[in-house]
Amino acid sequence: MLQPTWHPDSLATRLPSLRRRALLTQATRAFFAARGYTEVETPYAVHAPGEEVHLGTFRTERVDTAGARTPLWLHTSPEFAMKRLLVGGAGPIFQLARVWRNGEGSDTHAAEFTMLEWYHPGATLADLMDEMEAYLRAVLPPKVMCRGIATSLRSFERLTMHDAFAREAGADVLGTAGDAAALAASARAKLRDGETWEDLFFRLLLERVEPHLGRAFPTFLTHWPAAQAALARRDSADPRTALRFELFVCGIELANAFEELTDAREQRARFVEDRARRHAISGPDWPLDEDFLTALGHGMPAGSGVALGFDRLAMIASGADRIDQVLWLPG
């Protein structure tokens, strides 16, 4: 019979990793304070948790003193709230936020976890990569080991998605954008029944590209196809790509970052498209976040932001094999 997670014997096995996590939290706050960031806190229960097509959410409701009920959702990221603060003039900000994503669970996923998110007005994507390197070197030793993979932080690789697919899958991901059959032929892959270009893109990314990233040294996977822009702006030098990166350390996807989209009209169009796709899969849910679009239209400063899985960073810092080893009371 499994011991409860509060049992002294169970907690004792996790305490070394948990104490390392506590030191990591202290070092994180010190790093951002030294760079002039302000730590913020934003609501966890929100009217609209975002327009991600494939993220599951947790629904709740607010009951006011008159008994009126308002549906709310636990946020999947503090991104929209923090961007409202950027519009208001908060300047460089960071947050260690609890976030919720329903339907997730594995050695590196938890349904409730901690996200370290920060925004730097005026920073380019390259600036943010520089800052990310400085942060990791400040809070981690020069060499880390996690899940059997040793990674040196002495150098970082910056690899475009186009070059990654060419190197690891032998495919032209940009030249075949939107054409599933062409991408399959380029990658010498068999196209599955009903598989879209996006489906195949993510299958190749998962099966052929990601297993080779962030091993001997960390890898920034940059310049994503424009169709995967999310909330990133397109690269003016190559509109086929979006100014987005993911960071891999010890083979683990650790962070996702954008040079932020500030055009409210384009953001609305992306939201409407994503809502239609999500509703086709799972049905109607929350209203469009008009308040966020109004804030964006008021004027968000140009800059970049990143979301980092803090529990995964704690795994890397402590050498833990599973995310539950760095959670005080795993669910």
- Band (pLDDT 50/70/90 cuts) for residue 117 is very high
Q: Provide mean pLDDT across the span 101-127.
A: 96
Q: What is the mean pLDDT of the chain?
A: 96
Q: How do 219-225 and 157-160 pair as beta strands? A: parallel
What does the buried/exposed string (b/e) look like for 42-73 if buried means 16 or more CB atoms within 10 Å of the residue's CB?
bebbbbbbbbeeebebbeeeeeeeeeeeeebb
Q: Which two structure tokens, joined as six digits, stand for 90?
A: 């908060």
d(CA 143, CA 154): 8
The C-alpha angle with vertex 113 and arms to 278 and 47, in degrees rounded to 5, equals 45
Q: Using one digit for the tens of pLDDT, what is the confidence trace for 84-110?
A: 999 999 999 999 999 999 999 999 999
pLDDT above 80 for 270? yes
Q: Using one digit for the tens of pLDDT, what is the confidence trace for 233-263?
A: 999 999 999 999 999 999 999 999 999 999 9
Nearest to 183 by CA among 195, 240, 193, 273: 195
Q: Using one digit for the tens of pLDDT, what is the confidence trace for 164-223?
A: 999 999 999 999 999 999 999 999 999 999 999 999 999 999 999 999 999 999 999 999
CA 115 to chain centre: 8
Task: Note the pTM of the prediction, 2 decimals.
Answer: 0.95
pLDDT above 90 for 13? yes
State the pLDDT at residue 1: 63
State the pLDDT at residue 170: 95
Q: Which two structure tokens, joined as six digits, stand for 275?
A: 């809502």
d(CA 75, CA 46): 6
d(CA 95, CA 302): 19
Residues 6+ positions from 309 with CB-CB distance below 8 Å: 113, 114, 115, 116, 253, 254, 255
Map 113-180 to HEC letters.
Answer: EEEEEEEEECCCHHHHHHHHHHHHHHHCCCEEEECCEEEECCCCEEEEHHHHHHHHHCCCCCCCCCCH
E strand or H helix at 309? strand 303-309
E strand or H helix at 72? strand 69-74
State the pLDDT at residue 2: 80
* Per-position DSSP letters for 223-292, written without gaps between them: EEEGGG-TTBPEETTEEEEEEEEEEEETTEEEEEEEEB---HHHHHHHHHHHHHHHHHHH---SPP-HHH
Q: Provide mean pLDDT across the span 301-325.
A: 97
Q: How do 149-152 and 143-146 pair as beta strands? A: antiparallel
d(CA 184, CA 170): 11
State the pLDDT at residue 74: 98
State the pLDDT at residue 331: 81
- Band (pLDDT 50/70/90 cuts) for residue 19 is very high
State the pLDDT at residue 214: 98
pLDDT above 90 for 47? yes
- Band (pLDDT 50/70/90 cuts) for residue 3 is confident
**Residue percentage of the chain with pLDDT more than 70:** 100
pLDDT above 80 for 69? yes
State the pLDDT at residue 230: 79
Q: Provide mean pLDDT across the span 277-304.
A: 95
Q: Using one digit for the tens of pLDDT, what is the confidence trace for 133-171?
A: 999 999 999 999 999 999 999 999 999 999 999 999 999
Residues 6+ positions from 172 with CB-CB distance below 8 Å: 162, 165, 166, 183, 186
